[in-house]
Amino acid sequence: MTAPTTGVTGTVTTAPPARWSLWRAWPRSIAALWRSSLRFRTILVTIGLTALAVVVACVWMALAIQNDLFDSRRDQVLIDAEQARAAAQRTLDAAVQSEAVRMENVMTLAFTALRDQSSARMMAAYRIGPPVPNAPQDRSTAEEVMPDLLTTPMRALVRANPDQQIWQPVELPDGPAGAPGIMVGQQLSIQGVASYELYLAYDLANAPETLTFVQRTLWVVGIGLVLLISGIAWFVLRSVTTPISEAAETSAKLAAGRLDVRLEVRGEDELATLGRSFNAMADSIESQIKELADLSLVQQRFVSDVSHELRTPMTTIRLAADMINDRRDEFDPATARAAELLNAQVQRFETLLTDLLEISRYDAGSVQLELEPTSLAHLAEDVIGSMQQLAEQHGTDVRLVAPGGYSPVDMDPRRVRRIVRNLLGNAIEHGEGRPIVVTVDSNQQAVAIGVRDYGLGMKPDDVEHVFDRFWRADPSRKRTIGGTGLGLSIAMGDAKLHGGELAVWSGFGRGTHFVLTLPRQAVALEGASPIPVDPGDDAALDDLGLAAAVDLPRGDAPSETGSGTDAATRGASA
């Protein structure tokens, strides 16, 4: 039976993975995948950075193309307007030299030259200055539109700069939305007659279509580039992360005890070198573990054989010691005292042999439970009754609080009784004569018994070693009721054998609390114990007639770094 982890910490439960079918669980699932998958994290980062780079590049290229397209079209328009103006000016100059030509006909010929040389959509000419005799009238191909397109600042610039081209973007009428265009202004002059403002309006409707086509092409290419780079990244990562995943799985199997698993080595690259190094490490670990296992087996056999072989002479020595001790009244005081000490030490030696044999059985895995339906509350009453005389010798009042735990539960009563006797004996020895509270309670999953004393307690560093074999918090403190230093180790083994847990809480100057929890069924414990290991505040002190925690002797209180002498001992068997 596999027992759960025991100690001062609680059981850690893992939440079930969220299902992808529930859209509300997607953020949590993605976050878990981000933490657990290097491949997913790398591909996501690659896609994100690539998409960002492509977006920036496409936006920059679109803006650059848009600006360049407009500049190119503007330069073409200005050249076209200049060529058209030059052609019209030549026509005017040639016509003016012939006196037989009327000025209106001259302007008509100039407009004809403008239409032939220019691709302008609309054009107009407005006389500069006051009316002049024989000067042609204003001309316009779109008289109803041109005045609205021309601005006062532009006309002022055209009048003030006869040798320059003035241009500005305009919106030409083209349906409800209009069309983008450029208005170019310059001057025409009829020698000796008048000067005219010449305006040519060019349509740029084809420029947005070209720009839209270019932008659409850029985005299609950008999306394709992102997908292509993502595919390449996935392929490259798969070739790298697959051996890493295999190494992780093999490491987990190796950690689980399967020492024969090895990595498959392919090629001569860095990953192959890693695989060969891993396999060499696994071979070394396997050989060392086998050596340690063989050594441990030899040690277990040695302890078991020595303990077993010592029982026969120990029985003889015990009989002789009992006979001598029974007749100690006939001896002188020194000899009588020696007989008493001999008898006590022989008893302790016999107890030590028994505990060593029990420990060797646990190490060998040959311990079997003898389950019987037993009431934990009644078992606690029996143990308290059997140790009443010891408690009276120490001036300790043992109190039983049992709100639950009366229904029978399958357990090995001999081993559970041994655990409770050990815990209660330690509490009596280290309780400083203060009351001891034994609590029995249960829930649907487990039954538990807690033994709380209000003695000196232990430091946090000592609590971590309380179940170690032969460990004592203060070796200088003598045991008053004997013990071998194996009692709590055996108790922990008995608890695990039942599939339960034995946990401890201790506060320096506040006492110690041991809690044994056993499952009702032959399954591992789940959930919290019916009795909390940490008793919380000391409100129960008032109920017990104790006004405050025990006073710490001078020099025994732990400092901020945890130093100090602990007056309590947790490792001896009662």
pLDDT at residue 564, as a whole number: 32
Average pLDDT, the chain: 77
Tens digits of per-residue pLDDT, 127-162? Answer: 888 877 777 888 888 877 888 888 888 888 988 888
Are the CB atoms for 157 and 185 separated by under 8 Å? yes
Tens digits of per-residue pLDDT, 176-229? Answer: 667 788 899 998 888 778 888 889 988 877 766 777 777 788 888 888 888 888
pLDDT at residue 440, as a whole number: 92
Helices (H), 98-139: 103-117
Instruction: Please give the structure tokens belonging to residue 452.
Output: 């709380």
Phi, psi of 256 (to 5 degrees): -80, -5
Percent of the chain with pLDDT over 70: 80
pLDDT over 60 at 12, yes or no: no
End-to-end CA distance of the chain: 28
pLDDT over 70 at 373, yes or no: yes
Of 338-347, 368-377, 559-568, give the lowest mean pLDDT range.
559-568
pLDDT over 60 at 539, yes or no: no
pLDDT at residue 246, as a whole number: 81
Encode 182-242 in three state secondary structure.
EEEEEEEEECCCEEEEEEEEEECCHHHHHHHHHHHHHHHHHHHHHHHHHHHHHHHHHHHHH
* Average pLDDT value for residue range 517-537: 81
Which residues, other chains included, contact 187 with Cβ-Cβ below 8 Å and sequence gap of 6+? Answer: 128, 158, 159, 162, 163, 195, 196, 197, 198
pLDDT at residue 569, as a whole number: 32
Which residues, other chains included, contact 239 with Cβ-Cβ below 8 Å and sequence gap of 6+? Answer: none
- Does an H or E element contain 391, and which? helix 388-393
* Average pLDDT value for residue range 527-553: 63
* Average pLDDT value for residue range 8-28: 51
CA distances 446 to 410, 411, 419, 520, Å, are 11, 12, 17, 5
Find the Cα–Cα–Cα–Cα dihedral 56, 59, 63, 69, rounded to 10°. 120
Percent of the chain with pLDDT over 90: 6
pLDDT over 50 at 419, yes or no: yes
Q: Which of 438, 451, 432 is nearest to 394 (CA)?
A: 432
Of 20-24, 52-56, 322-326, give the lowest mean pLDDT range.
20-24
pLDDT over 80 at 267, yes or no: no
Q: Start-end ranges of CATH 3.30.565.10 in the chain?
A: 368-543
pLDDT at residue 116, as a whole number: 84
Phi, psi of 490 (to 5 degrees): -65, -40
Q: Which of 239, 158, 167 is nearest to 197 (CA)?
A: 158
* pLDDT greater at residue 244 or residue 16: 244
Which residues, other chains included, contact 276 with Cβ-Cβ below 8 Å and sequence gap of 6+? Answer: 265
* pLDDT greater at residue 2 or residue 186: 186
Count of CB atoms situated within 10 Å of the CB of 190: 22
pLDDT at residue 566, as a whole number: 32
pLDDT at residue 51, as a whole number: 83
CA distances 160 to 131, 153, 157, 188, 195, Å, are 19, 11, 5, 13, 12
Q: Rounded to an integer, what distance in angstroms lies between the CA atom of residue 51 and that of residue 54?
A: 5
pLDDT at residue 249, as a whole number: 84
pLDDT at residue 30, as a whole number: 77
Bridging pattern class, strands 398-401 and 436-442: parallel
Q: Rounded to an integer, what distance in angstroms lies between the CA atom of residue 250 and that of residue 285?
A: 14
Instruction: Please give the structure tokens belonging to residue 216.
Output: 């659409």
Tens digits of per-residue pLDDT, 41-77? Answer: 878 888 888 888 888 888 888 788 777 777 888 888 8
pLDDT over 70 at 278, yes or no: yes
pLDDT over 70 at 350, yes or no: yes
pLDDT at residue 451, as a whole number: 92
330-339, 459-468, 475-484, range with greatest mean pLDDT:
330-339
Q: Which of 466, 476, 464, 478 is nearest to 429 (CA)?
A: 478
User: pLDDT band for position 17 (50/70/90)?
Assistant: very low
Q: Start-end ranges of CATH 1.10.287.130 in the chain?
A: 273-367
Instruction: Please give the structure tokens belonging to residue 271.
Output: 């990953």
Are the CB atoms for 479 and 570 separated by under 8 Å? no
pLDDT at residue 10, as a whole number: 35
For domain 368-543, the CATH class is alpha beta
The matching CATH number, chosen from 3.30.70.260, 1.10.287.130, 3.30.2270.10, 3.30.300.350, for 273-367 is 1.10.287.130
Region label for 410, one of left (φ > 0), alpha (ψ between -120 and 50) or beta (otherwise): beta
